[in-house]
Amino acid sequence: MPGNIDDMFVGAKHDPALVDGQNEKRRDSVTELPAVIEGQKTLRNDIISGEGDFPTQEEIATLERIGDPVPWKAYTIAFVELCERFSYYGTTVVYTNYIQRGLPMGSTSGAVPDAANNLNSSPGALGLGQRAATGLTTMNQFWVYLIPLFSAYVADAHWGRYKTIMVSIFVAIIGHVILVASAAPSVLSSGNNSGSLAAFIIGMLVMGLGTGGFKPNISPLVAEQVPATVMRISTDKKGNRVIVDPAITTTRIYNYFYLFINVGALIGQISMSYAERFVGFWLAFMLPTILFLLCPIVMVLCKKNYKLTPPTGSVLGKATKLFFLANKGKWKLNPRACWKSLHDGNFWEDVKPSRFAPENRPSWMTFDDAWVEEVGRGFRACEVFLWLPLYWLTYNQLNNNLTSQAATMTLNGLPNDVLSNLDPFALIILIPVFDLLIYPGLRRAGIKFTPIKKITLGFLLGALAMVWAAVMQQYIYWQSPCGYYAGECYIDTTTGLPAIGGDGDAVVVGINVWAQTGAYVLIAISEIFASIVSLEYAFTKAPKNMRSLVMSVSLFMSALAAALGEAFVYLANDPLLVWNYGVAAVLAGVGGVAFWFRYAHLDAQEDMLNNLPSGHLVTAHEADLINQGRSESESDVEKRGGLVDVQPKI
C-alpha cells in the first residue's frame, strides 16, 4: 500500500519565494528525487544553490539585467550548425530552378551557356513549371519539419541528443549523394526526365529525413552548454549590482546561433546559385555535401567537452496522461461554461500529486508537483507555437515565389535565386546590432521587450514584407508584354515577338531585381523577432527532459505552414500572384493582432515562468537507486535529519 508523504522524508517544500523573489535564498535541487514514485514515499536531497542569491521582487524591478558569456564549446556546436545549414540551404536554393525551368538550349548540366553574356537567362533542368516547383519545395518544407516530432521523441526517450544528431548526419549525407547523382549531366541530357525526377525526390526525402533528425536536437544542445539556470545577484565591471538572468543568456546564445545559421545559409546560397548558373546542378549539389562532412568530425573531436543530457525514457506518455487527466470533467456543452472551466486557473493545479490522497493517486504519477508546473509551461509554449504557421507562410515565399518573381525582372547577370540572400545578409548585420545595442538599450530604459511582444512584431513585419511583394508583382504585370502572365513570357522564335509559352529566351520587365530588397529586409527583421524567439521560447519553457520534443513542436509549425502553403499552391502562378502575396499579408497581420490579445497575459508572467522550481520525474534507473536507498533504516534517516543522500549518476 502507498505510504503517506512526510516532510521528514521529502525535505522542505518549494517555497513561493523561489518564484516571487523574496529574500530567502533559492533552494535548488541538483539530484532531487520526486516526493512520490508509484504511490510510495521517496527521499530527496535539497541543497542551497551555490549560484548566489536569488533576487527579491524589488531587485527584479530595479536592477539592470545582464547575461553570462557564451562558452567556446557552444560556438563549436554553432559551427556544426553553420556547416549543416550551408549544405541544406546551398542545396535547396537551387530546387526551384531545377524543377521549374527546362534545360537551357545547348546545356547538358542545367547551366546557362555563355552565362557571362547571356545576362537575363536562368538555369534549369526538369521544366515542370512554377506550380510544380512550388508544390515540391513546399512538400520538402513539410517533410523536413514533420520528422522532428519523431526524432525528438527518440532523442529524449532513447538515444539522447548526441547520438540522434550523429545518426541524422549520416542519413543526410546519403540523401546528398543521391541528389548529386540525379543532377549528373549524363542523366539530365538523356531525355529521361522521369528518372531524374524520381532520383531527385528520393534524394530530397532522404536528406530531409536526416535534416529533420538534426534540427530539434542541435538547438537544445547548444543552449545546454551554459550551466547557470536561475537568476542571481552579481556585480558588473563597474561594481554595480546587477541581475545575471539566464533568459538573457539564452537569448544571446540563440541570437548568435542564428547568426551562424545565416552565415552558412548566405555562403551556401550565393555560391551554389553561381555554381548552378556557370557549371551546373551537379556541382551545386556536390559542394554542400563535401562541407557537410565536417559536421561529424567536429562533433566527435569535441564530444568530451560537451554537457550531454542522457535520455530519460519515455516521458511523453506521462505528460499525455497528465494532460488528459487535467481535461477530465472540464468540458461542458455550453461553450462559455466550457471556456471558463478550462481557464479557471486550476487546470494544472488540480492534477498535482499532492492533490491526491495516496490511495487514489495513479500509479503512473511518478513525479513531483514542480514537474506538473513545468509540463503546464511546456503546453502553454506549444499553444503559442500554434500561431506560428501564419508567420511562416510569409517567410516561405522567399525560396519559391519570390525567386520566381525575380526571374521576371531585369537581372543584369545576377542569378535570380541569389537575391534571396539579402535575408541572411541582413540578419548577419542586424543580429549583433540587436544584441549589443538595441536590446541592452531597451533594458536600460526599463522596457521589457519580452518574447510575446517580439513574436507579435515579427508577425506584423512579415505582413509588411508581403505587402511589398504584392505591390512589386502588380507593377511587373503592368509592365510585362504578356500582362498577367509575366512568368510564362518567352520569345516566340517563329515570330521573334514575346508570347505566352514561347520557345525562346525569357522576356523580363524593366524593373531592376534589386527592387525586391525591401521585402527581404523586412522578412529578415521579422525573423529576429519571431523565428529566433521561438527557439528561445521552446528551450526556456520546456521541462528539461522534454526539450527536444517541445523544440520539435516549434519546428513542426513550419511543416504546418508548408501544408497551409500547399492549400495556396493554386494562387502560386500567373495571373494570381498578387492574391498570393495579399492573402499571406492579411493572414499574418490579423494573426499577429489576435496573437497579442490572446497571450498578453503570458507577457506579464515571463519572469515567473522562467524561474519555476525544477521538477523531477523518476525513470526506471532512478527507481532502482531509490529502492537501494530505502534499505537504509528509518532510524538512520532520522539521525540525518530526514535526508538520504541518494544521488543517481544519470
pTM over 0.85: no
- Quick check: is 450 in a domain? yes
Quick one: 564 and 422 in the same domain?
yes
Give the pLDDT band (50/70/90) at residue 644: very low
pLDDT for position 623:
54
Quick one: 493 and 524 in the same domain?
yes
- Quick check: is 130 in a domain? yes
Quick one: 462 and 437 in the same domain?
yes
- Count of CB atoms situated within 10 Å of the CB of 429: 13
- Quick check: is 273 in a domain? yes
What's the whole-number mean pLDDT along residues 251-264? 91
pLDDT in tens, 235-248: 888 888 888 888 88
pLDDT in tens, 168-203: 999 999 999 999 999 999 888 887 788 899 999 999
- Quick check: is 307 in a domain? no
In angstroms, rounded to a whole number, what is the distance separating the alpha carbons of residues 342 and 204? Answer: 43
- Quick check: is 277 in a domain? yes
Return the higher-pLDDT residue of 147 and 189: 147
Query: How many residues are present in the chain?
Result: 650
Quick one: 442 and 419 in the same domain?
yes
Mean pLDDT of the chain: 81
What's the whole-number mean pLDDT along residues 354-379? 84
Quick one: 189 and 118 in the same domain?
yes
pLDDT in tens, 537-573: 887 777 777 777 788 888 888 888 888 887 887 888 8
**Which residue reads 530539434 in cell numbers?**
216
Quick one: 642 and 551 in the same domain?
no
Report the C-alpha dihedral over residues 482, 486, 491, 495, rounded to 10 degrees.
-10
DSSP assignment string, 132-148: HHHHHHHHHHHHHHHTH
Quick one: 17 and 149 in the same domain?
no
- Count of CB atoms situated within 10 Å of the CB of 291: 18
Helix (H, G, I), strand (E, B), or coil: what is residue 241? strand
Per the structure, the complete domain to which residue 221 belongs is given by 65-297+376-610
Cβ-based neighbours of 186, under 8 Å, separated by 6 or more: 108
In angstroms, rounded to a whole number, what is the distance separating the alpha carbons of residues 407 and 509? Answer: 10
pLDDT for position 634:
45
**Which residue reads 502562378 in cell numbers?**
573
pLDDT for position 46:
35
pLDDT in tens, 408-440: 899 888 877 778 788 888 899 999 999 889 998
The CATH number linked to 415 is: 1.20.1250.20
In angstroms, rounded to a whole number, what is the distance separating the alpha carbons of residues 576 and 578? Answer: 6
Q: What are the φ and ψ backbone dihedral angles of 628, each rounded to 5 degrees?
A: -65, -40
Q: What are the φ and ψ backbone dihedral angles of 11, each rounded to 5 degrees?
A: 80, -170
CB-based burial label for 515 (10 Å; 0-12, 13-18, 19+): middle
In angstroms, rounded to a whole number, what is the distance separating the alpha carbons of residues 466 and 290? Answer: 36
- Quick check: is 366 in a domain? no
Quick one: 73 and 10 in the same domain?
no
Quick one: 500 and 544 in the same domain?
yes
- Quick check: is 312 in a domain? no
**What sign does the dihedral 541-465-513-396 (CA atoms) show?**
positive
**Count of domains forming the chain:** 2
- Quick check: is 419 in a domain? yes
Quick one: 396 and 523 in the same domain?
yes
- With 50 as the cut, is the pLDDT of residue 12 above it? no
pLDDT for position 88:
95
Quick one: 99 and 202 in the same domain?
yes
- With 60 as the cut, is the pLDDT of residue 647 above it? no
Quick one: 155 and 41 in the same domain?
no
